[in-house]
């Protein structure tokens, strides 16, 4: 069976009633026959049947041994960092998700965990950064928002004794399976592609072995940021159409990226599917497609020009987040990466005019028309409120 068929049919039919949709077990606790004698569930922080089905499904999608669902992507990040202890060091991709950066710098630093940020698109930078204190390598590929690609299997090879964590939010398991490439742990903001309809906040962790599974399970239960039954159901339902959505989003993004590359007001276009992309070959090797996100900067590298574009699109809605069925657009310098210091922002290529487009499942011609008219607004200066 092909993967999309397998995943759909691994999601079980309810044994009790035959319901084809997974029941939402909206309950906090489960009645026991005698103390400690139960049907496998005793308290919904520890385990819940709806969440358990989602956890099984994401583990299967990532070819992992076990999955865990959290109340947000950052809660998933939190459960993974808590594998470390004071004195440990992380080597992380420099163009890291802003929220993860904020947690590293302002929370975990207080508990003695330090992070070195390097440009992981060049494997030698990772080798140079590893010290005796390094316990974990933290990658995103493609990154947010400049779509940098790191060679996951080469980095897994050099960091064999370290935990390799890959935030796979941007690629989704349909396009990339980090565990197959040597990673130990995969993280998702399920809020984005997995749920896919901009209607839920969720996080997921998948591990490749039982020892890690036990530790993450412990952290999930002990820290308690679990995903609720209804949100687990929404995420699960999103996954049933993941492959279809991703295919369309990849097609749309490729066309948008190619179109932007021909526009005179556009400076750089960042999309792994462009042959000109720095690590296009690596992306081609480790991904089955190039994803739905395209970023670009303007020749007029000003916040004003970017704002003009961002307020002139009609289909691409100006909003945080990405990966939904409706196209979204974001201006990282003033939105997602506001908490990243300007100096680091500029060093990692997040220019003032950088715009990130999340292509939805609309008709491609309509998206191209929208981008075109918003670019024209920069040049001709339509009224912007």
Ligand X SMILES: *Cc1c(COP(=O)(O)O)cnc(C)c1O
Is 45 part of the annotated catalytic residue set?
yes
Q: Of the listed 25, 97, 193, 271, which one is catalytic?
A: 97
Q: Which residue has the tokens 């492959």?
A: 243
- In the complex, minimum distance from the CB of residue 99 to ligand X, in angstroms, rounded to a whole number: 5
Position 313 contacts ligand X (CB under 6 A): no
Q: Does 360 bind ligand X (CB under 6 A)?
A: no
Residues 6+ positions from 183 with CB-CB distance below 8 Å: 139, 152, 156, 164, 165, 166, 208
Given the complex with ligand X, which of 11 and 76 has the nearer CB atom?
76
302: left (phi over 0), alpha (psi -120 to 50) or beta: beta
| Sign of CA pseudo-dihedral 119, 123, 129, 134 | positive
In the beta sheet, which residues pair with residue 90? 115, 136
Nearest distance, CB of residue 203 and ligand X, angstroms: 5
Rule CB under 6 A: is residue 164 a binding residue for ligand X?
no
**Which residue number places its CB atom closest to ligand X?**
73
Is position 72 an interface residue for ligand X (rule: CB under 6 A)?
A: yes
- Residue among 137 and 374 whose Cβ is closer to ligand X: 137
Rank residues 76 and 129 by Cβ distance to ligand X and give the closer one: 76
> Phi/psi at 23 (nearest 5 deg)?
-65, 145
Query: Using CB under 6 A, which of the segments 71-79, 87-95, 151-159, 305-313 binds ligand X?
Result: 71-79
How far does CA 76 lie from the centroid of its chain?
A: 11
* Spatial contact of 101 and 127, defined as CB atoms under 8 Å apart: no
Instruction: Compose the 222-241 pattern: x for residues touching ligand X by CB under 6 A, - for all others.
Output: --------------------
Q: How many residues bind ligand X (CB under 6 A)?
A: 16
Angle among Cα 313, 95, 79 to the nearest 5 degrees reads: 105
| Residue 311: both structure tokens together | 């307020």
Nearer to ligand X, 179 or 305 (CB): 179
Is residue 14 annotated as part of the catalytic site, yes or no?
A: no
Say whether residue 94 binds ligand X (CB under 6 A). Answer: no
* Angstrom distances, CA of residue 98 to CA of 93, 208, 319, 324: 12, 26, 15, 19
Q: Is 167 part of the annotated catalytic residue set? A: yes
Specify the stretch interacting with ligand X by CB under 6 A; choose among 78-86, 187-195, 207-215, 291-299.
187-195
Identify the CA nearest to 355 among candidates 291, 308, 289, 290: 308
CA distances from 293 to 1, 216, 226, 251 (A): 29, 30, 28, 11
**Would you call the peptide bond into 150 cis, given omega within 30 degrees of 0 as the criterion?**
no
Return the residue of 25, 97, 117, 309 that touches ligand X, per CB under 6 A.
97
- The catalytic residue among 51, 82, 148, 192 is 192
By CB under 6 A, tell whether 297 contacts ligand X.
Answer: no
Which two three-digit tokens encode residue 53? Answer: 């089905």
Residue carrying the six token digits 């996100």: 293
- Concerning whether 300 is annotated as a catalytic residue, the answer is no
Contact residue for ligand X among 148, 192, 237, 277 (CB under 6 A): 192
Which of the stretches 102-110, 166-174, 242-250, 373-381 binds ligand X when contact is defined by CB under 6 A? 166-174
- Residue 268 found at the interface with ligand X (CB under 6 A): no
CB of 175 to ligand X, least distance (A): 14
Residues annotated as catalytic are 45, 97, 167, 192
Applying CB under 6 A, the residues found at the interface with ligand X are 72-74, 97, 99-100, 140, 144, 167, 169-170, 189, 191-192, 201, 203
């Amino acid at each position: 069976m092909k993967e999309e068929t397998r995943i759909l049919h691994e999601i079980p039919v309810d044994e009790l009633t035959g319901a084809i949709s997974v029941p939402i077990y909206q309950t906090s606790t489960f009645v026991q026959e005698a103390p400690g004698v139960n049907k496998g569930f005793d308290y919904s922080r520890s385990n819940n049947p709806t969440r358990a089905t989602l956890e099984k499904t994401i583990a299967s999608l990532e070819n992992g041994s076990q999955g865990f669902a959290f109340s947000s992507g950052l809660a998933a990040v939190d459960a993974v960092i808590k594998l470390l202890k004071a004195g440990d060091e992380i080597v992380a991709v420099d163009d890291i998700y802003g929220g993860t950066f904020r947690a590293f710098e302002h929370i975990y630093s207080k508990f003695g965990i330090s992070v070195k940020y390097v440009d992981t698109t060049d494997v030698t930078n990772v080798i140079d950064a590893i010290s005796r204190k390094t316990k974990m390598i933290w990658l995103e590929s493609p990154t947010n928002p400049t779509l940098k690609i790191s060679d996951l299997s080469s980095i897994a090879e050099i960091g064999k004794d370290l935990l390799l964590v890959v935030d796979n939010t941007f690629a989704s398991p349909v396009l990339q399976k980090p565990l197959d490439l040597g990673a130990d742990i995969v993280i998702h903001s399920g809020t984005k592609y997995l749920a896919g309809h901009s209607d839920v906040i969720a996080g997921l962790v998948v591990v490749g072995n039982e020892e890690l599974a036990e530790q993450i399970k412990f952290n999930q239960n002990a820290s308690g940021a679990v995903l609720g039954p209804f949100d687990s159901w929404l995420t699960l339902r999103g996954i049933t159409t993941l492959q279809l959505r991703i295919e369309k989003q990849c097609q749309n993004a490729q066309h948008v990226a190619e179109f932007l590359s021909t526009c005179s007001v556009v400076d750089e276009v960042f999309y792994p599917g462009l042959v000109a992309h720095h690590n296009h070959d690596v992306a081609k090797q480790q991904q089955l497609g190039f994803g739905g996100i395209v970023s670009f900067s303007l020749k007029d590298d000003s916040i004003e020009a970017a704002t003009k574009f961002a307020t002139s699109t009609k289909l691409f809605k100006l909003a945080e987040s990405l990966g939904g069925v409706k196209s979204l657009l974001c201006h990282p310098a003033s939105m997602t990466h506001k908490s990243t210091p300007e100096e680091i922002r500029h060093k990692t290529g997040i220019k003032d005019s950088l715009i990130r487009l999340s292509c939805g499942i609309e008709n491609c011609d309509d998206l191209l028309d929208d981008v075109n008219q918003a670019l024209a607004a920069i040049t001709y200066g339509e009224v912007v409120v």
